[in-house]
Each structure stands twice: as structure tokens, then as C-alpha cells.
Chain A
Amino acid sequence: MGKQVVIVGAGAGGASVAAEAKRQDPSLEIVMVEERSQVSVAA
């Protein structure tokens, strides 16, 4: 099993981390946690 990555917050920062990390290493197990109903919103 790949490394476990937890990202708290799925705004511009967190969503960019998730996309880039997965692109670099597809074996990563990434969970992104967001308290709102939307992710990756342009302000």
C-alpha cells in the first residue's frame, strides 16, 4: 500500500496539492477532507 496522505481543506491550496501529488506518484493514497459542500472553488 502507498503512503497515506490526508489533506485538510479542498480550496485552491489543498486541491492543488492533491492533483499534483497524485500526478507525481499515483501510488499515494490521498484523502481530502472539506467541511463545505464544494471543493476547488475560484474566489
Chain B
Amino acid sequence: MPYYIGDVIKDEKRLIARTPEKFRETGIDVRIDTRVEEIDPKARRVHLAGGETLPYDILVLGTGTKPILPGIPGEEREGVFTLKKLSDALRIKAWLKNVPCRKVIIVGAGFIGMEMSDVIRGLGIETQVFHRGTLPVNRWDPEFSKTVLAELERHQVGFVTGVEVRAVEEGKQYRLRLVTNRGEDEADMILIAVGIRPETELARRMGLPLGKNGAIRVNFSQRTPEEGVYAVGDCAESFHRVSRDWVNIPLGDIANKQGRVAGRNIGGGSAVFPGIVGSQCFKVFDLEVAATGLTEREAADSGFRPVSTLIWGNSIAGSMPGNKKLGLKLVADRATGKLLGAQAVGGAGAVSRINTLACALWSELTLDDLGWLDLAYSPPVASAWDPIHVAAQQLRRQI
């Protein structure tokens, strides 16, 4: 959706994988603009707003997430947005164009904050990111977060740290005024992107157990403990193959897979969702930022004895023009030498390294395996000693 707002994707229809009409053609009844009021698991009935009741043999909850709001006066004002639904994207795009916006403040420095600062700045609009902490994207090491910050600054995106938002008021020079602990700033649009949480209100009222992250507990076939009830996607937990714990990582690729597994089981087949390793990425201007597995802290919390190394290697042959440094951090277990996690930042190739390392996590490779892995090499596209080899061999020597 950020790329639709930034006009990289021109037509909103391109965002819709399958229309209600397409579903109806296959015999699936789709009710849009319809809210579920209550679910009665004993009577196996779903009560819709408006009074209609749907009986079920099998129920699936795919209720997604809801954005976290700071709960400050004025946050409901026109021109203050969150980005969750397609309707939000449509409204934001119209607001940017029609007001027209001269300046935008983004509150929050996670994935959405970074992607949105990229696309809004790309429209030529003055853009500032207001962040509670000191560096963006705290999932990554400070050294990599600093690289992200430098990329924002290189593209004239303002980054304001240590911000607590207090209120949104009507502005004088611009449409809105944001009051914070650091003073007052005006802008024509404010985007709140401070996080999301699983939408599990219906599940909770049905008495379904929720995990420590507030997501619906499921097993490997996406079944909840309630007979005949499944849960999939951002509202449900996933098994983390590295930490061996149940987690909630709300990403669309995971939702697709869990949905397919549940669908196969509901249709009489047999499928399991084998879990995740925590792979994620985003792009901000010319920088790819990616991670997989556990951070050192998460590894220690999961009972491992983590060791780590961070290197800057060549994404293509060092002698070739256009070579850009690629930052790679590896985390491994001192006891077994197995990889536990990785982070990468670079002009290009960061995501491909992380995908390779995601396979390593999936199949529990050690640093010795990774140090000699047969990766494709040719000077214009790869380096003979890939950053993966360099980092793995360096970390192996520390154990």
C-alpha cells in the first residue's frame, strides 16, 4: 500500500488479489461491509450486525490486526491517519493530492514509518519522522540503524528523536499542529505508525486461549483448541523454528501460507504449517534492510549462548565499478556452532543474503557449513568470498 500512496503503483485495483465477484464465481458467498457482532461457539452460530445469523460446522478467524493509537486528544482529527486498510491508503492518497500537502509528519520509525517516509518524500513533500527512541528500526543493530538513519538524511527526511506525542490541534500555517514534549510542529498530514496488535476481540469473547503476544493459539494444522474452529494470519500465532517458541509476526506471506494450510485441512486434506524463522525485510530509498532468526537478546532469552560478528563485505567483486559495501551480522550458538540469526543492510543484495541464511536456519546449518557453502559467483553480480563466507568463518574462529 505505501507504493500505491507513492504512485509507484497507479491503480488500486492492482492491490486486490481477488475481487468479491471472482470469489462468487467459484461459489463462495462473500459479504463485504458486514460486521460480526458475536460468535456463539456452543450453538455454532455467527451473529452479524443487522440481525442475521449464520450457522457453521467449521469457523475460521482471520481477523488480522488493529493499529495502536497513542490515545492523545485530537488524534481523530481530519488529516491524522493510520495505514492498515485499503480505505486508509485511498484516503491518504486523496488527502496528499487534494489538500495539497506541503509537509507530513510520520510518528513512528518501524517498517511502515520507513516505507512511508520513502514514498512521501518521493512525491516531493517535506517529510519528518518523529520517534520515541534515538534510532530507527530497533529490530536491527545500532550500527545498521545508523545506516538507515543516514539514508533518511541523505534524502532530506527529518528525524526527530526522544519524542512523546501529547495532542493534535488545528494548525495556523499548516492544517494540523502536533504538540509533543519537544514543542509544537505543524504539518498538513500526520501519519501514526507506532505499531499494530492482533485483533482478537471476537476470539477472546468466545473464550479461545490467547498467547503471550495476544494472538490466538493454534496448532500446526491451524486448529484452535475449540473443536471446528481455526485461526489464520496476523491474528494467530506461528511456531518459531529457531526459538522453538510460539510467536506472533504479522506478515502477509505467513498469512497466505497459514490460510492455504487451514483451507486444505477444512477441505478434507491434510497439511501442516511448518513454522517460520522470522524473515523480514523492507526497502527505504536505495537501501535494502533485512533480518532473519533471532537477535542476540532473543537468543539468550531462548536459552542459547549467542556469539556474534558484524562485517562490511563486498556485495559484488571489490574490483568492479558499482561495488557497494554490504553489512552483515551473524548470531550463532557457542555450544553447537549453529546459526541463530542474521541481519543485513546494503544497496542491493541484502535481502538475497538473508534469504540464503533463512534456508540455513530452516535446516539448522552450522558456521562450518556456511563458511564453505557453494554460492554462485561472477564478478559483476557476486564476490568470490561472499560476505556470508567471510562472516561465518570469522565467527567460527571466535568459538
Contact = CB atoms under 8 A, between A and B. Distances in A.
Interface of A: 3-26, 28-43
Contacts of A5: 56-60, 266
Interface stretch (B26-34, B72-80, B128-136, B168-176): B26-34
B28 A33 contact: no
9 pairs of A and B residues whose beta carbons are closest in the complex? A24-B267, A13-B233, A16-B259, A20-B263, A14-B62, A9-B62, A13-B232, A13-B62, A12-B255
Interface string B206-247: 000000000000000000000000101111100000000000
Interface string B50-94: 000011111111111000000000000000000001110000000
A42 B63 CA distance: 15
Contacts, number: 196
A25 B269 CA distance: 9
A25 B59 CA distance: 16
Nearest to A20: B263
A42 B64 contact: no
B18 A30 contact: no
A28 B264 CA distance: 12
Nearest to B83: A43
A39 B22 CA distance: 11
Contacts of A9: 61-64, 233, 235
B156 interface: no
Contacts of B234: 11, 13
B268 interface: yes
Contact of A4 (B17, B19, B55, B252): B55
Nearest to A35: B35
B63 to A, nearest CB: 5
Given A11-B64, A11-B234, A35 B36 contact: yes
A16 B263 contact: yes
Nearest to B89: A41
A8 B61 contact: yes
B62 A42 contact: no
Nearest to A12: B255
18 contacts: A6-B59, A6-B60, A8-B39, A9-B61, A10-B32, A10-B62, A12-B17, A13-B64, A13-B256, A18-B23, A20-B263, A21-B264, A24-B267, A30-B27, A31-B54, A32-B23, A42-B1, A42-B15
Nearest to B233: A13
Contact of B60 (A14, A36, A42, A43): A14
B322 interface: no
B280 to A, nearest CB: 13
Contacts of A28: 266-267
Given A5-B58, A8-B61, A41 B259 contact: no
Given A16-B259, A28-B267, A35 B28 contact: no
B43 interface: no
